[in-house]
Structure 1
């Protein structure tokens, strides 16, 4: 750290956060910020820790904060103060960037965890969607579904939107793209969970889902896929005992 700061001081760019000497500082700070961030420390706390380097740097330079009367010593302390101030700015930028990267990774992981692909039957997979379906999540859904279709040799893919609160034109567009991609992979796609309120919204918005096979529930979608696969599905009569 001292060598890096010395390089910045030698360049005369004490107030320039883009000075080349700060590059190794950023690398070291990036590692430090990542470990501190995992422990829940804020960028301000990390900057405060780095501020303690000033006393150590002054000691290395052979000057003291108190009692320095020589012009050279005062100039060194002034330059050191300016340099440490710039270093704090670099720390804030680096830690903020590391925090944004961590948040982005965590968000991607949450999207993947919140979008599981379930095997309902041999050759039949389903994706239960819960929450808002935005562009980022729809991309994760499409990638996960296509991967499952290939890996499990699925002939039918069910998109269950029972847990999707509202369906607008953007959500419908995402669903249409996913259905089209599944068809290109050789799987018939069924959209289930069409509740009365969602059906009315789709009609009022004038969204055309005529080319998409829909069912009111996941059970109905599974029964349709099984029937298409040559498996007879029948409802048990009320009061009938187990067989």
Structure 2
């Protein structure tokens, strides 16, 4: 239904708010067929419509405050909850930020068409101001959605990074009372913290008396890596376990000497096998070789 030029006392944001409230159902129905909603709500179109209604209600609330370009406006909280989750779902299915941005932008045209149809004279000044206000509002909507999606993406990447660190630093029970951490790759501060936490937890869980840090797979050892190793050894001692560093290759040994790094307080062995033999021997376990192969008693 077309309406005449609205009262001049009604501002463009207020006009947009009234329009969104009045055309809530129609807008939600059109948005349900838009790619952003259609690709997420694949089971039930009704769910897409309800999601659209929630966003329209939130936008109407923002427009009523007049804060069309303020991403901190209260109404945008609901938008972050609804469209933010929708955008995150799209991202998990492989959609790029550029694609998500385009899909959010595509929500503007159906709403703009409905708003223009509200006016008897779409070229009138107030009609133009209302369309401009709606454009600003939907532009801010796009910023809010992308900000939320990117923030969620950063959190997901951080969680995955933490999970990879944990997977890359497994603690293995070699024998009753003996655990080992085979380290492969660069040992930076973040990974060293994960190594220490994982090792200390294993010492408690397994009641381990001996802990082996095998650095065979660590390409280089500098003063920072050595410091991390020393801290881990010290922490293991405080938990009542003797810590052994194994896998020190000739090149690494030369580097440690050249850097003047003092590992005198750290028990070292050339290989993981040597470290395990030491730990078993300290526990009174003798390893012998039989004709059928190696066995332990």
Q: TM-score, normalised by structure 2?
A: 0.76
Q: Report if the CA contact (8 A) 1:63-1:77 is conserved.
A: no
Give RMSD over aligned pairs.
1.8
Q: Distance in 2 between matches of 1:42 and 1:63?
A: 34
How far the C-alpha of 1:59 sits from its partner, in A, is 5.3
Structure 1 unmatched ranges of 5 or more = none
Matches within 5 A, 1:1-243: 1-58=55-112, 61=115, 63=117, 68-234=122-288, 236=289, 241-242=291-292
Q: Distance in 2 between matches of 1:204 and 1:133?
A: 20
Structure 2 unmatched ranges of 5 or more = 1-54
Farther-moved stretch of structure 1 (22-31 vs 188-197): 22-31
Q: Distance in 1 between matches of 2:103 and 2:179?
A: 52
Distance of aligned partners of 1:64 and 1:201 in 2 relative to their CA distance in 1, 3 Å threshold? farther
Post-superposition CA distance 1:106-127 (Å, at most 9, x none) = 1011111111111111111000
Q: Helix, strand or coil: the match of 2:287?
A: coil
Post-superposition CA distance 1:140-163 (Å, at most 9, x none) = 111111111111111100000000
Q: Distance in 1 between matches of 2:183 and 2:154?
A: 26
Q: Distance in 2 between matches of 1:29 and 1:161?
A: 47
Q: Helix, strand or coil: the match of 2:69?
A: coil
Q: Distance in 1 between matches of 2:180 and 2:135?
A: 61
How far the C-alpha of 1:61 sits from its partner, in A, is 4.3
Q: Distance in 1 between matches of 2:149 and 2:269?
A: 49
Post-superposition CA distance 1:124-181 (Å, at most 9, x none) = 1000000111111111111111111111111100000000011111111111111111
How far the C-alpha of 1:62 sits from its partner, in A, is 6.2
Q: Distance in 1 between matches of 2:198 and 2:128?
A: 63
Q: Distance in 2 between matches of 1:112 and 1:34?
A: 25
The number of equivalent residue pairs is 238
How far the C-alpha of 1:60 sits from its partner, in A, is 5.5
Q: Helix, strand or coil: the match of 1:35?
A: helix
Q: Report if the CA contact (8 A) 1:44-1:92 is conserved.
A: no
